[in-house]
């Protein structure tokens, strides 16, 4: 049970938090959020964006808490004393904004959540598959024009081996293009 700070080295200003996880894991996770501009605290995120990773360090402030209540009290004390970047007072005060925690949901409510999640995932899947279709797929070794040419050449009787040599891809890649396993959005003549 640890109280930590993300400290701006030049100013000494800190974001104070608590964790029961491995502090290195926690720091790596937060650093990842900050580098991707996804950190939950906009004040700290803006300073990170301005000054960069080298302007900050992760320090452990206290490891004396024996239980969650003690950890919450310590966090409140440290945030009050030096939590310049903190928005809430600490001590898991943010949990107040999540009143559903620890409550039993009715079956009807669970069904609504399930339906909404399934619909959302279905929309995401369609959008995601369109985005990474064909040449949009980062793993694609062919351009759209090459895939169209391969389909036409295969229809005209060219052998898989010949096409794989010409386009410098595996024969299975050529076969997948021709059968529609990949590049399925292209018309087959």
pLDDT per residue over 28-81, tens digit each? 888 899 999 988 888 888 899 999 889 999 999 888 888 888 888 888 888 888
Contact criterion met (CB below 8 Å) for 13 and 84: yes
Domain boundary assignment for the chain? 2-97, 134-179
Q: Cα–Cα–Cα angle for 12, 15, 18, nearest 5°?
A: 130
**Exposure string over 40-59, b if 16+ CB within 10 A, otherwise e:** ebeebbebbeeeeeeebebe
Which residue shows structure tokens 């049970």? Answer: 1
| CATH fit for domain 2-97, picks 3.40.1440.10, 3.40.430.10, 3.40.50.150, 3.40.50.300 | 3.40.1440.10
Contact criterion met (CB below 8 Å) for 149 and 141: no
pLDDT per residue over 66-124, tens digit each? 888 888 888 888 888 877 777 666 666 555 444 555 567 789 988 988 998 898 888 88
Segment 152-177 shows an average pLDDT of 93
Residue from 102, 14, 108 nearest 60 by CA: 14
Residues in the chain: 189
């Amino acid at each position: 049970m640890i109280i930590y700070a993300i400290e701006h080295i030049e100013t000494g200003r800190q974001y104070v938090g608590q964790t029961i996880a491995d502090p290195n894991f926690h720091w790596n996770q937060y650093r990842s959020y900050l580098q991707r501009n996804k950190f939950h605290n906009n004040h700290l995120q803006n300073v990170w964006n301005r000054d960069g990773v080298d302007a900050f360090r992760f320090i452990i402030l206290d490891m004396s808490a024996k239980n969650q209540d003690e950890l919450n009290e310590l966090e409140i004390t440290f945030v009050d004393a030096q939590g310049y970047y903190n928005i809430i007072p600490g001590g898991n005060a943010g949990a107040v904004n999540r009143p559903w925690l620890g409550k039993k949901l009715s079956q009807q409510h669970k069904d609504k959540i399930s339906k909404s999640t399934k619909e959302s995932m279905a929309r995401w899947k369609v959008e995601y598959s369109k985005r990474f279709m064909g040449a949009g797929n980062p793993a694609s070794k062919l351009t759209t024009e090459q895939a169209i040419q391969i389909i036409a050449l295969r229809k005209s009787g060219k052998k898989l081996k010949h096409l794989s040599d010409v386009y410098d891809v595996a024969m299975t890649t050529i076969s997948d293009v021709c059968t529609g396993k990949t590049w399925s959005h292209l018309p087959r003549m």
